[in-house]
Amino acid sequence: MLAIACPGQGSQTPGFLSPWLELPGVRDHLEQLSDRAGTDLVRHGTVSDEETIKDTAVAQPLIVAAGLVTARLILQDHLLTAATVIAGHSVGELTASAVAGALSEDDAVAFVRVRANAMAEAAAALPTGMSAVLGGDPDEVAALLAELGLTAANANGGGQIVAAGTLEQLAALAETPPAKARVIALKVAGAFHTAHMAPAVTALEALRPNLTPTDPLATLVSNYDGRPVATGEANLDSLIAQVSRPVRWDLCMESMQAMGVTGMVELSPAGTLTGLAKRGMRGTAALALKSPEDLDAARSFLEEHSRTSDLDPSLTSEGPQ
């Protein structure tokens, strides 16, 4: 059984789209997405520097566009059914929603445009950030984060938690880390997936009437609880709420394994989720689609792991309530 994974913010690097522009149709596709996103994705994916593409308002549309471009290249002759599992990490859920047919490309890009700008504005309102906590006893880590008023914003599996909150709270965490754990400050602009992002949720609710969600063609797994969403409306509910709610990628990986996924291909900018899969989905083959040189291998990988499998109905979620 095949899974397609869509990476989130922080996976981009300067110039990562340059080799893709050499392929027929890619520049036109990116220019179309740029028009919808209101930013020059061709420039940001080729010549913009690290500081520029780290900006939330740039990074999120760029990552979604890269995923949409590379998905089109590998899925040209691949028919999506419920036997294909699709999941995205954080903003990658928008890519996943478009790939699965739960949102049109237009709607996904309209959503990410509002999402990115609203999250950037929310982050600017108060100095906040995020730090990775690697290792340590899970219960002890959770207790310390609660004591400091921090949120476990990402649970990535393999002993990796991302804590989010004010810079003062994160400084306290760095000064007194959990036993046998390392704390690494992340280069992000704010405390994403926490209550600090509530204004962005409001902005996305205002966008809702302009969107036309549809039921996914593939099995689309939610960051909320790792379960498939049953309808387009349930998926949209999840996407809006996700902005201020923790990402449970650990549960996504658990679900994919429970469904019988044998191989996971990660769309560009790839590498982060295949790395997490090595620890969280042991025994599952993984392929990172990093450059056009990986296309033939990715297409063969899709064929090899596209096996029909009955999805357990008990795994399906009507959406986070």
From 193, 222, 238, 306, the catalytic residue: 193
Distances (CA, A) of 306 to 119, 261, 298, 302: 37, 9, 12, 6
Closest CA to 278 of 270, 287, 269, 291: 287
pTM for this model (two decimals): 0.91
- Examine the pLDDT at 133 and tell me if it is beyond 90: yes
**Do residues 212 and 163 lie in contact, with contact meaning Cβ atoms separated by under 8 Å?**
no
Residue with more model confidence, 173 or 308: 173
Whether 204 and 91 have beta carbons less than 8 Å apart is answered as no
* 144-198 tens-digit pLDDT: 999 999 999 999 998 899 999 999 999 999 999 999 999 999 878 899 999 999 9
Q: Measured on CA atoms in the order 246, 249, 254, 258, is the torsion positive or negative?
A: positive
Write down the mean pLDDT value for the chain: 92
Kindly list the strands in the beta sheet with 181-185, ordered across the sheet, starting from the edge strand earlier in the chain.
181-185, 128-135, 160-166, 151-157, 247-248
Give residue-wise pLDDT tens across range 96-129. Answer: 999 999 999 999 999 999 999 999 999 999 999 9
Q: What percent of the chain has pLDDT over 90?
A: 88
Q: Which domains does the chain have, with CATH numbers?
A: 2-123+194-315 (3.40.366.10), 125-185 (3.30.70.250)
**Mean pLDDT calculated for residue range 283-290:** 96
Which one has a higher pLDDT value, 313 or 186? Answer: 186
DSSP designation for 317: B
Q: Over 50: is that where the pLDDT of 320 sits?
A: no
Of 11, 34, 90, 238, the catalytic one is 90
Q: Given this model, what pLDDT does residue 176 score? A: 93
Region class of 128: left (phi > 0), else alpha (psi between -120 and 50), else beta: beta
pLDDT (tens digit, 9 = 90+) per residue, 259-275? 999 999 999 999 999 99
- On the question of a cis peptide bond just before residue 269, with omega within 30 degrees of 0, the verdict is yes
How large is the average pLDDT for residues 18-36? 96
193 catalytic, yes or no? yes
Query: Is 90 a catalytic site residue?
Result: yes
Q: What is the mean pLDDT of residues 63-82?
A: 90
Question: Has residue 321 got a pLDDT over 60?
Answer: no
pLDDT digits (tens, 9 = 90+) for 213-243: 999 999 999 999 999 999 999 999 999 999 9
